Amino acid sequence: MRTTICERLGIEFPLFAFSHCRDVVAAVTNAGGFGVLGAIAYSPDQLDTELTWLDERVGGRPYGVDVLVPGKIDPSALDRRTHLLEAVPDRHRDFVTHLMTKYGVSAPGQPMTAVADEFGRRVTAAGATGLIDVALKHRVGLIASALGPPPPEMVSRAREAGVPVAALVGTVEHARRQVEAGADLIVAQGTEAGGHTGDVSTMVLVPQVVDAVAPVPVLAAGGIASGRQMAAAMALGAEGVWCGSVWLTTEEAETAPAVKAKFLAASSLDTVRSRSRTGKPARQLRSAWTEEWDSGPESPGALGMPLQMLLAEGAMARIGAAAEKGEPGAVELVNYFVGQVVGQLDQVKPARDVVYDMIAEFGDAVERLRRLSDG
pLDDT, tens digit, 9 for 90 and up, residues 28-80? 999 999 999 998 878 889 999 999 999 999 999 999 999 876 555 445 544 55
pLDDT at 122 (0 to 100): 56
DSSP tag of 259: H
* pTM, two decimal places: 0.91
Q: pLDDT band at residue 237, thresholds of 50, 70 and 90?
A: very high
CA angle 234, 14, 182 (to 5 degrees): 90
Give every CB contact of residue 313 below 8 A, 6+ residues apart in sequence. 119
Helix, strand and coil content of the chain, in percent to the nearest 5, comes to: 50, 15, 35
DSSP tag of 347: S
What is the percentage of the chain residues whose pLDDT exceeds 70?
91
pLDDT at 375 (0 to 100): 65
Q: Are 77 and 105 in contact (CB under 8 A)?
A: no
CA–CA separation, 33 vs 27, rounded Å? 9
What is the chain's mean pLDDT, rounded?
91
CATH code for the structural domain at 1-73+124-251+350-366: 3.20.20.70
Residue 159 CA, chain-centre distance (Å), reads 24
* Domain boundaries for CATH 3.20.20.70 within the chain: 1-73+124-251+350-366
pLDDT at 43 (0 to 100): 84
By C-alpha distance, which of 266, 69, 26, 54 is closest to 139? 54
pLDDT at 109 (0 to 100): 65
Q: pLDDT band at residue 251, thresholds of 50, 70 and 90?
A: very high
CA–CA separation, 259 vs 3, rounded Å? 36
pLDDT at 2 (0 to 100): 80
Residue 5 CA, chain-centre distance (Å), reads 20
By C-alpha distance, which of 365, 339, 181 is closest to 357? 365
Higher pLDDT, 205 or 83: 205
Q: Which of 39-43, 53-57, 218-222, 327-331 has the lowest mean pLDDT?
A: 39-43
Q: pLDDT band at residue 84, thresholds of 50, 70 and 90?
A: confident
- Rounded to 5 degrees, φ, ψ at 347 are -155, 160
pLDDT at 72 (0 to 100): 53
Dihedral angle computed from the Cα positions of residues 323, 326, 331 and 333, in that order, rounded to the nearest 10 degrees: -50
For residue range 256-297, list pLDDT tens digits in order: 999 999 999 999 999 999 999 999 999 999 999 999 999 999
Q: pLDDT band at residue 338, thresholds of 50, 70 and 90?
A: very high
pLDDT at 186 (0 to 100): 97
Q: pLDDT band at residue 160, thresholds of 50, 70 and 90?
A: very high
